[in-house]
Amino acid sequence: MTTQTLSAERRVRRITFSHRLNRWDVKVSPYLYISPFFILFGLTGLFPLVYTAYVSMFDWHIIGGQGDFVGLGNFEWVLGQERFWQALGNTFSIFLLSAVPQVILAMIIAAVLDQNLRAKTFWRMGVLVPYVVAPVAVSLIFSNMFADQHGLINNTLTSIGLSPVGWHSETIPSHLAIATMVNFRWTGYNALILLAGMQAIPRDYYEAAMIDGAGRVRQFFSITIPSLRPTLIFVIITSTIGGLQIFDEPRMYDTYGEGGASSQWLTITMYIYIRAFGQSGGGQFGHAAAAAWILFLIIVVVGLINLLITRALVSSTSASKRSKS
Amino acid sequence: MSTSRRTTAAAVAGIAAFAMIATGCASTPAGDDKEITLTVATFNNFGYTDELFAEYEDANPGIKIVHNKAATSNDARTNYFTKLGAGSGLADIEAVEIDWFAELLQFSDKLYDLSSDEVDGRWLDWKSEAATDADGRLIAYGTDIGPEAICYRADLFEAAGLPSDRDEVAELLTGDWDHYYSVGEKFTANSDAAWFDGAGAIMQGVLNQEEETLESRDGEVIATTNPVVKDAYDSVLAASEGLSAGLQQWTKDWEAGFASGAFATTLCPSWFLGNIEGMSPDVTTWDIANVFPNGGGNWGGSYLTVPDQGDHKEEAKALAAWLTDPEQQLKAFVKTGNFPSQVDLQTADELLAVTRPFFNDAPSGEIFADRAVAVTVAPYKGTKYFPVMNELQNALVRADVTKNMSPAESWDQFVKDVAALG
């Protein structure tokens, strides 16, 4: 190989060993330095994804292992299950009930924190406290508060003369209760990210707007929101992914962790878990893998829709601002 | 190729270093080979105390025991099947509950053969027969059984004008299920409290008295067509309308109900005594009546198994044999009320002398020894029993607890759900 390269050498200058090493260093080293991420991603992200697709094509029992090839049979089976569609509906319902108020609330909190407050750090850290609490602990506390007969919330409701709500027995109240836990945990986190975005907006904009006579509200809608576009997209995409994969809170919402007797709060990830490991006729990895892939595709589609809507919304605001000014 | 050797070496070193980070530097010190650590995994409360394990460690130098406890039998089951499939990660000794034992039995080739002359005839026949696989290997050692009595609130009985002494209550309730319901009607006529906690528990009590319920002996799921199940479903829900507190087992509301006096009676397998004490520590009026509707009944009970994947199977087998020895099992009964499955203990004086202070010094040894004798039927629980029972319980919850379906609608849903189990 060395002789070949030498004979094919067009330039006069001889490439020495150290030159070669240098070239290697320049070309290969950067990739070597960033490789840990990609190796890790390959092992923990890409491989499971591909392997799940492989498993989803087989009849695959948790203990019996790989069985016959069934092609798309598992997907057909999952899509034919009433419970799967119920779980899908529940997931979207909980997602909407949590993500929408969460982003709006986070926005308001961030805007308030962005003002000149006393003891800034205290307030900012305070917002993050719920995020530090373990989700399982949050669920335990909230499911106690939301207990149907002896819960704090229903006791309060009855004591002021209202009728108690079936937090566990009815569908929408159970979604509300779970969304409350999610919001409790994530609103502060999102608020801090939005706050970081707001702090990066040049203050000149606000000064100029103030001189032009724009009020606080007008400034918020015409400067803050359009400038926050990248941050907002990030927050919305991450809370979409998180919202559609919601598991801890509904799983811990009652002792059984199966989404209620009529699957009132069964979510897709819980459905996958129960198909694979749980007790209701569990142990079919093929079905679980198929459901997992369907969820993956749904998240991709919803993520794209979100991206388009957010772009359209935010850029139209900035466009209208530009046309007006 | 000599040119690139250094680079290769650097790359290899880098990858090796990275691999060490990735595996969390999980190099275990080889150390002293003589010290063996045995892990024991149980759930709920088996009554195996640290002192008990310390006793074994002292008698067997070189053995160290680590005890892991799962909160519920469901958690333990999920863990067991996941790791049995993975082929590693299980404890040296794993506890199994009777309801999902059959499911495990079909993978008996992954379990260690525990037969030995030493333990021959140690257990009640039906207990050890259930733990013997098709090839005649004994794959599990019995720990406890769950003979059922009735636990009741003496204060609520008294307030409703019923006798409250435990012998009188036993006499009052002697009879079949309909008799139990009719006494309940008398009770609820004079009290704000309900008669029993929920339809789910009663259903367990009724079905555990039948030979074939959810599955036939040849392994077919017959839950939706078996008249025994449908009749039980209809009669339990009909009775629940006036008598049930509408609480689902193991939920927060249900736990609170034990303390608040939401209901007057509950079906009471021996292992349940410890749970009642834990859920209503301030109540002084819980008592046990030596009676059970329609004769006797067994609910639950467990086994110890030694998975074949372990490194120290012989040592684990010896420890399991020691733990299920009558002497140790008696200690467990005193501790938690888990009634032993060992023949020698059924009539042992030490066992009969045991009383429970929390239940007003009820002679629990005597009562549950009687209740164990009254058990005549060993219900057949096959591989699908656990998931089907789960759906049946869900059906009862929909009609009795959340009340978002009528019993008939909920039954139709149950039929669909069982079909979907596939």
Residue B262 has pLDDT above 90, yes or no: yes
Exposure class string for B66-98: b at 16+ Cβ within 10 A, else e: ebeebeebbebbbbbbbbbbeeeebbbbbbbbb
Rounded Cα distance between A282 and B30, Å, is: 39
**More confident call, B219 vs A95:** A95
Q: Are residue A33 and residue A82 in the same domain, yes or no? A: no
Strands B339-340 and B286-289 turn out to be unpaired
pLDDT score recorded for residue A18: 85
Question: Is residue A70 a part of any domain in this protein?
Answer: no
pLDDT score recorded for residue A298: 92
CA distance A254 to chain B (A): 7
Does B88 touch chain A if contact means CB atoms closer than 8 Å? no
Q: How confident is the model at residue B175 (pLDDT cuts 50, 70, 90)?
A: very high
Window 6-35 of B: residues touching A by CB (8 A cutoff) are: 6-7, 11, 14, 18, 22
Does A18 touch chain B if contact means CB atoms closer than 8 Å? no
Does B85 touch chain A if contact means CB atoms closer than 8 Å? yes
Convert the pLDDT of each residue in A68-113 to its tens digit: 898 899 999 999 988 899 999 999 999 999 999 999 999 999 999 9
Q: How confident is the model at residue B90 (pLDDT cuts 50, 70, 90)?
A: very high
pLDDT score recorded for residue B103: 83
Convert the pLDDT of each residue in A193-233 to its tens digit: 999 999 999 999 999 999 999 888 899 888 998 889 889 88
Written as one string, the DSSP assignment of B100-117 is GHHHHHTTGGGB-----G
Q: How confident is the model at residue A283 (pLDDT cuts 50, 70, 90)?
A: confident
Across the interface, whether the CB atoms of A149 and B110 are under 8 A apart is answered: no
Q: Are residue A245 and residue A304 in the same domain, yes or no? A: yes
CATH number at residue A110: 1.10.3720.10
Q: Are residue A48 and residue A86 in the same domain, yes or no? A: no
Quick one: which H or E segment has residue A207? helix A203-211
What domains are defined for chain B? 36-145+301-352 (3.40.190.10), 146-299+356-421 (3.40.190.10)
Residues of A in contact with B401 (CB under 8 A): 169, 261
Query: What is the separation, in whole angstroms, between the first and last Cα of chain A?
Result: 68
Rounded Cα distance between A277 and B217, Å, is: 26
Rounded Cα distance between B324 and B304, Å, is: 8
Question: Is residue A159 a part of any domain in this protein?
Answer: yes
- pTM recorded for the entire structure: 0.79
Mean per-residue pLDDT for B128-154? Answer: 90
Convert the pLDDT of each residue in B322-368 to its tens digit: 999 999 999 888 888 889 999 888 888 889 999 999 999 999 999 99
Residue of A nearest to B251 (CA): A255
**More confident call, B383 vs B176:** B176
Residues in chain A: 325
User: CB-CB: which of A17, A81, A255 is closest to B3?
Assistant: A17
pLDDT score recorded for residue A241: 87
**More confident call, B8 vs B195:** B195
Convert the pLDDT of each residue in A291-302 to its tens digit: 999 999 999 998
Window 129-188 of B: residues touching A by CB (8 A cutoff) are: none
pLDDT score recorded for residue B125: 85
Question: Is residue A125 a part of any domain in this protein?
Answer: yes
pLDDT score recorded for residue B33: 56
Q: Are residue A164 and residue A299 in the same domain, yes or no? A: yes
Residue B27 has pLDDT above 50, yes or no: no
Rounded Cα distance between B42 and A100, Å, is: 43
Q: Are residue A49 and residue A183 in the same domain, yes or no? A: no
Q: How confident is the model at residue A279 (pLDDT cuts 50, 70, 90)?
A: low
Question: Is residue A68 a part of any domain in this protein?
Answer: no
Residue B29 has pLDDT above 60, yes or no: no
pLDDT score recorded for residue B11: 47
Q: Which of B42, B88, B81, B116 is nearest to B317 (CA)?
A: B116
Q: Are residue A215 and residue A305 in the same domain, yes or no? A: yes
Convert the pLDDT of each residue in A135-187 to its tens digit: 888 888 888 899 888 889 999 999 998 888 989 888 999 999 999 999 999 99
Question: Is residue A62 a part of any domain in this protein?
Answer: no
Q: What is the ipTM of this complex?
A: 0.73
Rounded Cα distance between B327 and B334, Å, is: 11
pLDDT score recorded for residue A9: 52
**Domain count across chain A:** 2
Does B247 touch chain A if contact means CB atoms closer than 8 Å? yes
User: CB-CB: which of B74, B260, B420 is closest to A83?
Assistant: B420
Looking at residue A94, the DSSP 8-state letter turns out to be: H
Provide the domain limits for residue A9.
2-55
Q: Are residue A37 and residue A182 in the same domain, yes or no? A: no
Residue A282 has pLDDT above 70, yes or no: no
Does A297 touch chain B if contact means CB atoms closer than 8 Å? no
Question: Is residue A64 a part of any domain in this protein?
Answer: no
Question: Is residue A69 a part of any domain in this protein?
Answer: no
Q: Are residue A102 and residue A13 in the same domain, yes or no? A: no
Question: Is residue A94 a part of any domain in this protein?
Answer: yes
Residue A121 has pLDDT above 50, yes or no: yes
Across the interface, whether the CB atoms of B252 and A36 are under 8 A apart is answered: no
Q: Are residue A37 and residue A150 in the same domain, yes or no? A: no
Q: Which of B66, B114, B129, B126 is nearest to B322 (CA)?
A: B114
Does A17 touch chain B if contact means CB atoms closer than 8 Å? yes
User: CB-CB: which of A1, A150, A277 is closest to B252?
Assistant: A150
Q: Are residue A239 and residue A140 in the same domain, yes or no? A: yes
Q: Are residue A44 and residue A82 in the same domain, yes or no? A: no
Across the interface, whether the CB atoms of B252 and A143 are under 8 A apart is answered: yes
User: CB-CB: which of B7, B84, B387 is closest to A280?
Assistant: B387
Q: Are residue A186 and residue A274 in the same domain, yes or no? A: yes
Q: How confident is the model at residue B238 (pLDDT cuts 50, 70, 90)?
A: very high
Residue B84 has pLDDT above 60, yes or no: yes
